[in-house]
Amino acid sequence: MQKQDKMMIKANDPSLESWIEIPADSDFPIQNIPFGVARLKNGKIHCVTRIGDFVIDLYELAGLGFLDNLDIEDLRIFKQPVLNDFIALGKPVWHAVRERVSDLFNRDNATLRDDYDSQSKYLFYISDVEMQMPVRVGDYTDFYSSKEHATNVGMMFRDPENALLPNWKHLPVGYHGRSSSIVVSGTNIHRPKGQTKPNGADTPVFGPSKLFDFELETAFVIGKKTALGDQVSTSEAEDHIFGMVIFNDLSARDMQTWEYVPLGPFLAKNFGSVISPWIVTLEALEPFRTLSPVQDVKVLPYLEYDGEKSFDIHLEVLIKPENGEESKVCHSNFKYLYWNMSQQLAHHTVNGCNINVGDMMASGTISGPTPESYGSMLELTWRGTKPLRLKDGSERKFINDHDTIIMRGFAKNDKVRIGFGESVTKILPVK
């Protein structure tokens, strides 16, 4: 089944080339065709895709008749400020649009290639547009699915001998977060203030968070809704997933430590999460399927799954001090996650909880097995006991004001590289 699907995706053919020039090591070859929303120079906001360093305006392309006969009744869905209505059309339509774009921008197709006049209508240089939030996020869930991350946190905050709590290998732990503060790359975030309880103090104090952190995560975007009471099986789960983004789940560790008992994170997490602007479809990631780690505790039947449900996606985090250069502080991989997206979604819906198009579900911090692959400053500096040294010579235990946090992700084999671009945010002083 999987092999057959792969063969039907013509747009994924690694031998395809575009008439748009694509820089070496671009995240956006013609095999990617991700989806996003851009504000154009004239102020209009349209749904777009990208090849190389060029943004392709899907609404204008549709207006010229090039997206006809794709089962899209009203092409004005590409004039929406979010992708939700397009996504709701379903997997066959996402597939058809990718195939059409792939064909139109193929090097051997002269239709658009040689029509210079029309190119100015739909083709824009990336630096001439402003990327927007690609979807209206209805509900947001954050999982906690990296065994290495959960183990590290358990060792630091609880008991090194029993770092994982008893439920951890039986279900993908998660919590409901807040969607209002999920923002697109380029949005800067103020350091939060709130309650913390300093070591040895009897009562809490109020002020700016002193232990400001990132969490390296990915998130998937729901592409097909369910009705209340319905459950999604692990084998059906991917039909409900439109694609993925990089997700920087900013965290205030000192606030978290004081507030999280007994209901979990609250103000330590809901003041800002920053996503990469391009939703990369699962279809584009198809060549990078891989096995999830072996689960050494037998799971209940509804969490069992078949086949390769994970993806080999390289992830990295860089810190750029004000006026300084970028220093890479972490490199990890999506494939390290113990619980895969299909299991997360099966668990999320097993009780009949309904999901909607545009809902976002984040992975939880993706830490790997080595200290360089830990996905948060909390782990990288082991709660501040092992500061990192940046290229400019300065040290970091956590994130300073005016630091820019950059997250990048890409999947790569010897034929093609499918990337996400970046999630970038600068941390501003407390407001």
For the annotated catalytic residues, the residue numbers are 149
- Confirm if 240 and 349 have CB atoms less than 8 A apart: no
Looking at the Cβ atoms of 46 and 269, the one nearer to Ca ion is 269
**35: which DSSP letter?**
B
Side chain identity at 67, as an amino acid letter? L
Which residue among 57, 215, 259, 359 contacts Ca ion (CB under 5 A)? 215
| CB 265, min distance to Ca ion, A | 8
Give residue 53's Cα distance to chain centre: 20
Q: How far apart are CA 178 and CA 193, in angstroms?
A: 18
| CB 225, min distance to Ca ion, A | 24
* C-alpha separations of 388 from 135, 151, 331, 332, 406 in Å: 35, 21, 14, 17, 16
| CB 175, min distance to Ca ion, A | 9
Provide the Cα torsion 27, 28, 31, 32; round to 10°.
90
Looking at the Cβ atoms of 215 and 238, the one nearer to Ca ion is 215
- Confirm if 203 and 180 have CB atoms less than 8 A apart: no
Of residues 86 through 105, those in contact with Ca ion by CB under 5 A are none
| Alpha helices in 30-109, H assignment, sequence order | 58-63, 84-88, 91-104
- Confirm if 357 and 363 have CB atoms less than 8 A apart: no
Which residue among 249, 283, 403, 422 contacts Ca ion (CB under 5 A)? 249
Span interacting with Ca ion, options 36-44, 75-83, 141-149, 384-392, rule CB under 5 A:
141-149
Looking at the Cβ atoms of 249 and 422, the one nearer to Ca ion is 249
Looking at the Cβ atoms of 45 and 155, the one nearer to Ca ion is 155
* Residues near Ca ion (CB under 5 A), total: 3
Instruction: Encode 231-248: b = buried (16+ Cβ within 10 Å), e = exposed.
Output: bbebeebbebbbbbbbbb
Q: By CB under 5 A, is residue 142 in contact with Ca ion?
A: yes
* C-alpha separations of 319 from 24, 184, 256, 329, 353 in Å: 24, 18, 22, 7, 38
Residues sharing a CB contact under 8 Å with residue 193, sequence separation 6 or more, in sequence order: 206, 207, 208, 209, 430
What the block records as the tokens of 274 is 């920053």
Q: By CB under 5 A, is residue 213 in contact with Ca ion?
A: no
Side chain identity at 117, as an amino acid letter? D
Q: By CB under 5 A, is residue 85 in contact with Ca ion?
A: no
> Which residues pair with residue 55 across a beta bridge?
50, 124
Looking at the Cβ atoms of 148 and 215, the one nearer to Ca ion is 215
Looking at the Cβ atoms of 100 and 348, the one nearer to Ca ion is 348
Going by C-alpha positions, the residue among 220, 192, 190 that lies closest to residue 208 is: 192
Kind of pairing between the strands at 273-275 and 123-125: unpaired
Q: How far apart are CA 244 and CA 12, in angstroms?
A: 17
Of residues 276 through 335, those in contact with Ca ion by CB under 5 A are none
Looking at the Cβ atoms of 346 and 366, the one nearer to Ca ion is 366
Q: Which residue is nearest to Ca ion (CB)?
A: 249
| CB 78, min distance to Ca ion, A | 32
Q: Is the peptide bond before 262 cis (omega within 30 degrees of 0)?
A: yes
- Torsional sign, CA 220, 225, 230, 233: negative
Span interacting with Ca ion, options 104-112, 135-143, 154-162, 376-384, rule CB under 5 A:
135-143
| CB 349, min distance to Ca ion, A | 20
Looking at the Cβ atoms of 101 and 216, the one nearer to Ca ion is 216
| CB 56, min distance to Ca ion, A | 33
- Confirm if 360 and 344 have CB atoms less than 8 A apart: no
Residues sharing a CB contact under 8 Å with residue 353, sequence separation 6 or more, in sequence order: 228
Interacting residues with Ca ion (CB under 5 A): 142, 215, 249
